[in-house]
Chains A and B, each alone.
Chain A
Amino acid sequence: MIDLLYIDDNPNDAQLLFRTLEKQRITSKYFLLKDGEEALEFFFGQLNDNNPLPMPKIVLLDIKLPKVTGFEVLQKLKSDHTTKKIPVIIFTSSNERQDLELAYQLGANSYLVKPDKYQKLKELVQYLGKYWLDLNEI
């Protein structure tokens, strides 16, 4: 069982997030995918038809991804009945209004801007644990 699936091409962001998740004792059951293609393969790939992978509790999704963008991944996830109930949280450096609007239009459950300060990142991770992972367990 995976608590959190993180889709981002920036390994440093991933390293920082996972480190913080562990330090804050939120979870260690996380998994990283490096681009949109990998993400689609994970959810909808041929391989999974017979032996489906366990679905994550939440998905943390960056927008700017190589090959297939975060928005495309989001759209696919939210338009397939097998995946549409998985909470998807957009996690991006963009605080452009149109990105935020499009994300919610496509069915994102939340939109978080990657924080400038480490302190903020810690708060964000706390929030993730509290509102999304805990919520899912109920």
Chain B
Amino acid sequence: MLTSRSIPINEELQPAMIQNYGFMVVCSLPDLGIVHVSENIKDQTGKETAVLLNKPLSILLDPLTLTHLKETLNLTRFGFVQSDAGSEQPPQMPPDGEPDDTGVSNEERLSLVDAAQLWFEPTINGRNFYLSTQIIAQELILEFEPIRQGLTTAQFSHLLDRLSANIRQAKTLEALLQSTARQLRQITDFDRIMVYRFDAMWNAEVVAEAKRDDLSSYLGLRYPATGFPPKTRTFYHKYWTRMTVDVETEPVRLIPTVNPITLRLPDLSGSNLKAASEIQIKHLRTIGVKASLVIAITHNTKLWGLLVCHHHRPKFIDYSLRKLYQTIAQILSDHILLKSTTERLDYIYQIDTIEDRLFQQMTQNWDVVAGLIQFETTLLDLTECTGAAIYFDRELILQGETPTQAETLELIIWLNQAVAQNIYATNNLGSVYAPAKLFLNKAAGILAISISKSLGEYVIWFRPEIIQTVTWNYPPPASAESPKNDTQLNWQRSFDKWQKMIKNLSRPWQESELMAAGRLRENIINIVIHNANEMRALNQKLGKANAELEAFSYSVSHDLRAPLRNIEHFTEILLEEYSERINNDGLEILESILQSAQYMNQLINDLLAYSRIGQADKNYNHFDLLPIINQAKDTLIKTEPERKITFDIRPLPQVYGDRPLIRQLVFNLLSNAIKYTRPIKDSHIEIGGQQTETEVTFYIKDNGVGFKDKYVDKIFDVFSRLHTQELFEGTGIGLAIAQRIVQSHQGRIWAESQINLGTTFFVSLPLNQTKKDNQEV
């Protein structure tokens, strides 16, 4: 069973050898003349080789069996024996059929062995035999083996009932295999019965085992695919069983070795009696096994695994019992199909449930990231993965075993640029994305869903390289003293080869995982859309409220002005036309009324200006700051001609913005500086600025009264004043207006101040990024 193509010895070119527990006769067709007999035929039948060779088969078989055989053969010939026609459709082959060392193509050999197997129970020289026959390459091969512990039909069906009941009761695939191994061992008392399961690359894993208590377990062991070359798999697929009764008994040869007419070796590739290869024998000896029985388990016409029975002493299982095993293996095969289907459905259902739960978690607060990581079920549960990453809302969150933050971000950038699909899975990331070779232990395979291509948002699951996840073992030698022999070295080579084969690979992603990831993607997008809609509705509401507020303050300001104007006018009329009739006290009161009205008028004007910043359409241009600053400076100095203020105006950058608004901004800041330096004898105001790649910043620095650090944010609030009206006039809106202007330009304004040392206001305005609507004015 564990032959290896890396060894140059080839079974088919060796003289045909059979095991000694039975004997073999090969006849030519259609005359049924005896061409070969096995050299042990005399021990088994008492007949000399020389008596038999080149004689008709009737010399060996009783007339009744011979008649039966001939009848069946005629049927068979009519139906099946067309091997030499060569026009036959090649039979179904295992997926990776390769030409083997014999130079005989698989196709050819398969057509050779494609023949009926029939059996009889003749009696020769008083001994009962099972006779099984097959036609291969125009030769009839007759294999005789002794009937030993022949089962009665009742026993057979009883055993079958017990086994199949047991199989039906098993809840999981694992339990099914385990209990079958145990039951079979009870019947035949093998030292060890194992179930091998093949993976996609034909490596085998021991998935179930029943054994003698004193033996160490092979459960979980893996055998490389090189131990199961295509021809071995084809054999099992076709003939189901192979038995080795005693590795220590010398095999016997056929006489003559070569067919004297056709000059060909008889083809024993489908023979039950065929001796095990040297490699198989070596392997069995290494692990202390004398006898083995291997039965195929198929699944959907594909070899699914093997039932492997080992015994540490010679063991012969007779034909009827082997048939039982074979039947059990057949039932097992059917149940595996059923079980694996239901288990897959269970798994899909389980994934569905997890996906549902994730969705509910996400909708709890309409928060995607929180829903995926903050609850009992996380996105790590959705697939079989060791780590996951979410890049959402410009934040990268890593869960479990993942590449580093930087590596993951690079990977996401690559995904966004190189992968068009919204759902992407690979179990060989290194082959498409070279940097992955640095973190194969975390992410040899990825499953990624894109949430937004334009924002580069992704959810990614990671799987490590297979080598990281599999423990590869060799069966231990029979005794501790045994040195590492050829077989083990061969295995080491196989392992190295296997390692090379699976290098860089993770386990492949399942269709059901891709589907679940796809559904999760849809749900995330639904939540994102929901949130976006909420946001838009909120924005609309806000926009509406804002517009209403601006309209309101605009209209209030206008309506407020009318009565104020009237108060002013009437007071002025009183002062102008009735001053002789009002005493000084009354005149002072009238003056106060006038001042109050004027102050309120100023307040309203400022409020109006403030509310208009949001309303006015802006006309963006590039322009120099210097003329605006000079203009504001000249206007402001005129209001306080008695003061001596020195201005230090340094080089200033061009700004990009709405000129009237920037003019007002500069005016407000400069008037602030002039106002708050009033108590300082040598008022000094410095203005300067600079440009970076993305913005221009300018500052207005005074040596005025300053303010405490804690008020640094408060100064920009509407109506907020840090000084009394008597000390410094003003409505407290000037800086609020300044801030609103800056904000409407997507800029920043801030202040640094120290009490009695002065204040510096900084304004940063973004540069024009588009450059296309540049209009030099």
Contact residues of A with B, CB < 8 Å? 10, 12-13, 16, 19, 64, 93-94, 114-119, 121
Contact = CB atoms under 8 A, between A and B. Distances in A.
B568 interface: yes
28 contacts: A10-B562, A12-B563, A12-B566, A12-B570, A13-B562, A13-B565, A13-B566, A16-B566, A16-B569, A16-B570, A19-B573, A64-B558, A64-B559, A93-B558, A93-B561, A93-B562, A94-B558, A114-B562, A114-B565, A115-B565, A116-B565, A116-B601, A117-B568, A118-B568, A118-B569, A118-B573, A118-B576, A119-B572
Contacts of A12: 562-563, 566, 570
Nearest to B576: A118
Interface of B: 558-559, 561-563, 565-566, 568-570, 572-573, 576, 601
Nearest to B560: A93
A58 B558 CA distance: 25
Q: Which 9 A-B pairs have the closest CB atoms?
A: A118-B572, A12-B566, A118-B569, A16-B569, A93-B561, A10-B562, A93-B558, A93-B562, A118-B573
Contacts, number: 36
Contacts of A121: 569
A13 B562 CA distance: 8
A22 to B, nearest CB: 13
Contacts of A116: 565, 568, 601
Contacts of B570: 12, 16
Nearest to B557: A93
A119 B575 CA distance: 12
Contacts of B569: 16, 118, 121
Given A12-B563, A13-B562, A116-B568, 5 more contacts: A13-B566, A16-B566, A114-B565, A116-B565, A118-B568
Nearest to A63: B558
A120 to B, nearest CB: 10
A35 to B, nearest CB: 15
A117 B565 CA distance: 8
A97 B558 CA distance: 14
A64 B559 CA distance: 9
B562 A117 contact: no
A2 to B, nearest CB: 24
A27 B568 CA distance: 24
Contacts of B558: 64, 93-94
A10 B558 CA distance: 13
B121 to A, nearest CB: 114
Contacts of A119: 572
B566 A117 contact: no
B614 to A, nearest CB: 15
Contacts of B561: 93
A114 B601 CA distance: 13
A67 to B, nearest CB: 16
Contacts of A118: 568-569, 572-573, 576
Nearest to A94: B558
Contacts of A114: 562, 565
Nearest to B566: A12
A12 B565 CA distance: 10
A18 to B, nearest CB: 13
Nearest to B612: A96
A99 to B, nearest CB: 10
Nearest to A10: B562
Contact of A10 (B566, B572, B601): B566
A13 B569 CA distance: 9
A116 B573 CA distance: 13
B227 to A, nearest CB: 90
A115 B561 CA distance: 11
Nearest to B554: A96
Nearest to B574: A118
Contacts of A94: 558
A19 B576 CA distance: 14
Nearest to B567: A12
A121 B576 CA distance: 14
B763 to A, nearest CB: 26
A126 to B, nearest CB: 16
Contacts of B563: 12
A119 B571 CA distance: 12
Nearest to A9: B562
A111 to B, nearest CB: 15
A12 B562 CA distance: 9
A112 to B, nearest CB: 14
Contacts of B562: 10, 12-13, 93, 114
A64 B558 CA distance: 10
Contacts of B573: 16, 19, 118
A117 B559 CA distance: 17
A13 B565 CA distance: 9
Nearest to B577: A23
The listed residue with most A CB atoms (<10 A of its CB), out of B562, B570, B573, is B562
A32 to B, nearest CB: 15
A122 B403 CA distance: 82
Nearest to B569: A118
A102 to B, nearest CB: 15
Contacts of A64: 558-559
A12 B558 CA distance: 15
A121 to B, nearest CB: 6
Contacts of A93: 558, 561-562, 565
Nearest to A19: B573
A121 B565 CA distance: 11
A125 to B, nearest CB: 12
Contacts of A115: 565
Nearest to A23: B577
A116 B204 CA distance: 99
B402 to A, nearest CB: 59
B167 to A, nearest CB: 89
Contacts of A19: 573
Given A13-B566, A93-B562, A117 B601 contact: no
A119 B30 CA distance: 140
A116 B601 CA distance: 9
A12 B601 CA distance: 17
A116 B597 CA distance: 10
